[in-house]
Amino acid sequence: MSAYHPLSEAQAIEYARQIPNLFQSGSELTSHEIGDGNLNLVFRITEKASGKSIILKQALPYAKVVGESWPLTLDRARIESEALIIEEGLVPDLVPHVYAYDADLALTVMEDLSDHIIMRRGLIERNEYPLFAEHIGRFMANTLFFTSDLGKNQQDKKIQQGRFINPELCKITEDLIFDDPYRDAETNSIEDHIRDAAEQLWSDSELHFEVAILRQKFLTSAQALLHGDLHTGSIFIKPDSTKVIDPEFAYYGPMGFDIGAVLANLILNFAGQEGWSKDLESRKAYRAYLLQTVKDVWTHFEANFRALWNEHGVDRVFQAPGYQDYFIKNLLQDTAGFTGAKMVRRIVGLAHVADIDKIEDSAARERAQRLALAIGTSFIRANRQVASIDELIAIVTKESAVERGFVL
């Protein structure tokens, strides 16, 4: 079974059976392929007697997005597996446990999280997750700090960076986030009713200038090992637990890119409340929850990150008076810019979010899209100026309540 081939369900069972200390020998196992087949096979293997289950995730040698298919490196399975193992070493409660990784088969065997739901769905259902901000703030603080030059031996960091050169998946980000939305690209997916707003994006040279700054940071700023795709579809959640999955985009990049992914997807859902909230009161309440969460995510991140820096900083020079504040201010500014870029691309770019696209009422959907674009572009414009998370919150409030005539 060593040469790569996509596994059948029977082969997946056979494979799982070989892993030591997982299932009772000879026990009955069942398998269900539960992936969407676009990028990976995902088998859930269950032991009938105990009910114990695991996930076997195998990379496919191609990607299918919106009908197109292109070859994609199997090395992303190694990257995902190695990133998960590094993350587990830092925040064991916040990622699925990895039981095994098979390089030849591009396959990772990991903890089954089917008692959780995908957070994007949870937000669309307007659930509240009071522990999420603490969890994700701690996840990002620990994974970003301890893989960076602030918290990791700087020679070991370079060697680790060499293992996370991830050109193919970075290319997807570079095109879909930092290029295509700002020109009339074939890959874009734009609803007719917001074509005017898209065209405005394409002709706004001041915005292009700010996007160039963000693109350059993504390409060159090797601050920390990023998750690289930390949207709410990469988070499994239930009220008392948060698990970050799917780090196949992991690479050394600017920390604000991960933080921005979380904030952007919270704010996209905020915009989507145009279509999801049944009445004005419940919309206001859920939006207030989301905005508080945006603020709390940053606050928990910052508090954790500063504490790690003070207690576990490996670098004498970075203890210079004022430098930590300067670093955090720059990080918030990067976060603002990346948040905006990630919002814009979800409205006019190739891959959208269900929080907005699944709104059936097209007038409400259009309001949500325009609101997301207004907030996103304002965040991009703020990327070199913003000085506090409250200023970012104020942008959301202003764009939704005042400028665009929407009721918060």
Please report, in range form, the residues annotated as the binding site for substrate.
Answer: 229, 345
Q: State the amino acid at position 228 in one-letter form.
A: G
Please select the residue that binds its own copies; options are 220, 281, 311, 385, rule is CB under 8 A. 220
Shortest Cβ 155–its own copies spacing (Å): 4
Q: Which is nearer to its own copies, 161 or 241 (CB)?
A: 161
Shortest Cβ 334–its own copies spacing (Å): 12
Q: Which is nearer to its own copies, 96 or 253 (CB)?
A: 253
Pattern 331-370, binding to its own copies, x per CB under 8 A? Answer: ----------------------------------------
Q: Which is nearer to its own copies, 107 or 169 (CB)?
A: 169
Q: Which is nearer to its own copies, 105 or 225 (CB)?
A: 225
- Across-strand partners of 118? 236
Phi first, then psi, for residue 49 (nearest 5°) are -65, -50
Classify 30 as helix, strand or coil. strand
- Nearest Cα neighbor of 304 from 133, 172, 92, 80 is 133
By CB under 8 A, residue 316 contacts its own copies: yes
**CA atoms of 124 and 110, how far apart (whole Å):** 27
Cβ-proximal residues to 73 (8 Å cutoff; 6+ apart), any chain = 168
Contact 187, 175 (CB under 8 A): yes
- Nearest Cα neighbor of 227 from 98, 80, 117, 360 is 80
Which residue has tokens 């919270």? 266
Q: Which is nearer to its own copies, 221 or 397 (CB)?
A: 221
Q: Which stretch binds its own copies (CB under 8 A): 14-22, 126-134, 311-319, 363-371?
A: 311-319
Which residue has tokens 């591009």? 106
Please select the residue that binds its own copies; options are 49, 320, 363, 407, rule is CB under 8 A. 320
Please report, in range form, the residues annotated as the binding site.
Answer: 40, 57, 111-113, 229, 246-248, 345
By CB under 8 A, residue 75 contacts its own copies: no
- Give the DSSP H/E element, type plus range, for residue 33: strand 29-33
Please select the residue that binds its own copies; options are 202, 318, 357, 364, rule is CB under 8 A. 318
By CB under 8 A, residue 250 contacts its own copies: no
By CB under 8 A, residue 385 contacts its own copies: no
- Give the count of residues interacting with its own copies (CB under 8 A): 43
Pattern 82-121, binding to its own copies, x per CB under 8 A? Answer: ----------------------------------------
By CB under 8 A, residue 158 contacts its own copies: yes
Pattern 165-204, binding to its own copies, x per CB under 8 A? Answer: xxxx-xx--x---xx--xx---------------------
Neighbours of 395 (CB within 10 A): 22
Task: Give the CA angle between residues 217, 219, 221 to the nearest 5°.
Answer: 50
Please select the residue that binds its own copies; options are 31, 223, 265, 293, rule is CB under 8 A. 223
Q: Which stretch binds its own copies (CB under 8 A): 2-10, 28-36, 281-289, 309-317?
A: 309-317
By CB under 8 A, residue 222 contacts its own copies: yes
Shortest Cβ 41–its own copies spacing (Å): 26
DSSP 258-304: HHHHHHHHHHHHHHHHHHH-SSHHHHHHHHHHHHHHHHHHHHHHHHH
Task: Give the CA angle between residues 174, 180, 185 to the nearest 5°.
Answer: 140
Contact 254, 285 (CB under 8 A): no
Cβ-proximal residues to 88 (8 Å cutoff; 6+ apart), any chain = 95, 97, 98
Please select the residue that binds its own copies; options are 17, 97, 208, 284, rule is CB under 8 A. 208
Cβ-proximal residues to 140 (8 Å cutoff; 6+ apart), any chain = 230, 255, 258, 259, 262, 301, 305
Shortest Cβ 59–its own copies spacing (Å): 19
The one-character DSSP state at 246 is -
Binding site for its own copies (CB under 8 A): 148-149, 154-156, 158-159, 161-162, 165-168, 170-171, 174, 178-179, 182-183, 205, 208-209, 211-213, 215-216, 219-223, 315-318, 320-323, 326-327
